[in-house]
Structure 1
Amino acid sequence: MKHARHPVAGASLAVYEEGEGMPFVFQHGLCGDQAQPGQVFPADVGFRRITVECRGHGVSEVGPKAALSIATFSADIADYLAGQGSGPVVVGGISMGAAIALRLAVRQPERVRALVIARPAWICDAKPANMASNRIVGELLDHYPIQEARRRFEALPLVKELERDAPDNLASIRGFFNREPVDVTAALLRAISTDGPDVTEAEVSAITVPTLVIGHGRDLVHPIGHARAVAGMIPAARLVEITPKADDANAYRADFRAVLSSFLREL
């Protein structure tokens, strides 16, 4: 895997590439890194995965915390693509990465050849209710020492709901308490959970490129209804529901790779 740096205003970002062929910019989720899309990227499909780790993620610098937003992350990707001098590319992402990809397709359609929206946590609006758990953790980390923040979180009725209906979400959320640096994790969770892609339904409905939307059940942070809604807006979209990660993580990854491989090969 190749690793490089890309400078943006106020920060230096890590860029990873794997595979050979046409570029596919495939972005990670909130508080994730390049390994997340790497786990579900299919080999030997004639595409080269490019993941730009967003500010404050992976080994990318955070830069000014006031700049942390989906709009900034999207602009950073556009800046990277402009520096490469390439034509339209396939753009996609998981969760927050899906919101970044959706914004790029609306705001800079000339850069997007095709679109992959996986497990979307946003449709169009900012501060969706499904992101409340992430926001709560960010606020707790911002106001209390880690152990006290964790204790207060575990006492919430929300935890029982997550244990019952979305154990994979709960595992990810608990992981935030171990993420360093704490101040950056808190800033990301607060800023991005109350943010949105800042696009309208009319703008999303105007997307004309081939689009793959991936979703699954047993997920309260990424409701299957969000995936269905986005797929219903985009005329050229195909929705595929895969094995929930909470049911079988290996089957989830295998299903994801299979449907992504099929979509990329068709392109």
Structure 2
Amino acid sequence: MMAEKLTLVSTPSLHVVDIGSGAPIVFQHGLGGDRNQIADSFPGDLPCRRVTVECRGHGLSPFDPKGRYSIARFADDVIATADSLGLERFSIGGVSMGAAVALNIACRFPDRIDALALVRPAWLTAAAPTNMQPFVAVAHHLRAHGAEGRDSFAASPIGLYLAEHAPDNLASLLGFFAHPEPDQLAALLLDIALDGPGVTEDDLAAIRVPTLTVGHGVDVVHPLDYARKLASLIPGAVCAEITPKAVDRTAYAAELKGALSAFFRMTSRDSRS
């Protein structure tokens, strides 16, 4: 089934995709992403019930009325959604910011999680990592110039660096300048870029569910070393290194879906029963 709208207790009306049947997997998008990002990233042939919550200010979900955003708050919204859908236990994962949301949930609600997948993580444990500075810069250009800030950001030192070292990151960031509500978006980008997943290395060491991290090179925002480091800090975790999007988008998508499909098939409750 597809849930077009779902109003949650103590949250705004968030858009939730609830599709398929089988073991439940909650899979979250990145900063500035939405349901379409997950549809493009998640293996369509995996026999599961896939749930994606479009976070506040993303996709069809409205901006937060008070303009306050955090990874922990997004995680709370995911848990509220799981409660409303009757999901007592589920696997969880996400891309970039979605990986941070998934990690927060896995550490705070370990008894509810069956498996954890962290795709192109943009955080380890610290808040405001250097790799998130491009989002801070985008926010400042949005506030100062609105849509016209696209060219000034592209010509800035960060923009020029990304053009040379991570063109896929630059293309994604330039897309923010087409947003119809630049001030609202700037607040969202700043809050999240300066935030952290709210976990410690001790929390990571306490994770006891099967865990996959996925990373690739040619990516400034999502350093490959982050995927490797998280895999080294989480007991039994495995790191899959795939083709960079900037090198071959088709190979990237195929390898990502293949890694997720193999992982979730192996870790599903049905396969372990």
**TM-score category (smaller protein):** over 0.9
Alpha-carbon displacement from aligned partner over 1:72-101 (angstroms, at most 9, x marks no partner): 100001111122222210000000000000
Residue identity in the other structure for 2:68 = A
**Is 1:44 aligned with 2:19?**
no
**Is 1:5 aligned with 2:6?**
yes
**Is 1:237 aligned with 2:237?**
yes
Structure 1 unaligned blocks of 5 or more: none
**Is 1:210 aligned with 2:207?**
no
In 2 relative to 1, CA 215–151 (structure 1 residues): closer, same or farther, beyond 3 Å?
same
Alpha-carbon displacement from aligned partner over 1:33-72 (angstroms, at most 9, x marks no partner): 0111111211332212110000000001212344311011
TM-score relative to the length of structure 1: 0.96
Q: 1:183: which partner in 2?
A: 183
* Deviation for aligned residue 1:104: 0.2
* Deviation for aligned residue 1:177: 0.5
Over 4 Å off, 4+ runs: none
Q: 1:14: which partner in 2?
A: 15
* Deviation for aligned residue 1:133: 0.5
Q: 1:58: which partner in 2?
A: 59
Q: 2:30: which partner in 1?
A: 29
Contact 2:67 2:188 in 1 (8 A): no
The 3-state SS of whatever aligns with 1:67 is: coil
Q: Which moved more, 1:45-54 or 1:212-221?
A: 45-54
In 2 relative to 1, CA 6–212 (structure 1 residues): closer, same or farther, beyond 3 Å?
farther
Distance in 1, Cα, partners of 2:197 & 2:48: 26
Q: Which moved more, 1:78-87 or 1:121-130?
A: 78-87
* Deviation for aligned residue 1:247: 0.5
* Deviation for aligned residue 1:265: 1.0
Aligned length in residues: 266
* Deviation for aligned residue 1:252: 0.6
* Deviation for aligned residue 1:259: 0.6
Distance in 2, Cα, partners of 1:165 & 1:154: 13
* Deviation for aligned residue 1:225: 0.7
In 2 relative to 1, CA 194–86 (structure 1 residues): closer, same or farther, beyond 3 Å?
same
Distance in 2, Cα, partners of 1:8 & 1:30: 23
Distance in 2, Cα, partners of 1:12 & 1:123: 30
Distance in 2, Cα, partners of 1:5 & 1:183: 26
Contact 1:19 1:43 in 2 (8 A): no
Residue identity in the other structure for 1:222 = H
Contact 1:41 1:49 in 2 (8 A): no
Distance in 1, Cα, partners of 2:87 & 2:223: 34
Q: CA RMSD in A?
A: 1.3
Residue identity in the other structure for 1:257 = K
Contact 2:116 2:212 in 1 (8 A): yes
* Deviation for aligned residue 1:175: 0.4
The 3-state SS of whatever aligns with 1:153 is: helix
TM-score relative to the length of structure 2: 0.94
| Identity within the alignment, % | 47
Distance in 2, Cα, partners of 1:47 & 1:96: 22
In 2 relative to 1, CA 183–8 (structure 1 residues): closer, same or farther, beyond 3 Å?
farther
Q: 2:88: which partner in 1?
A: 87
Distance in 1, Cα, partners of 2:84 & 2:163: 45
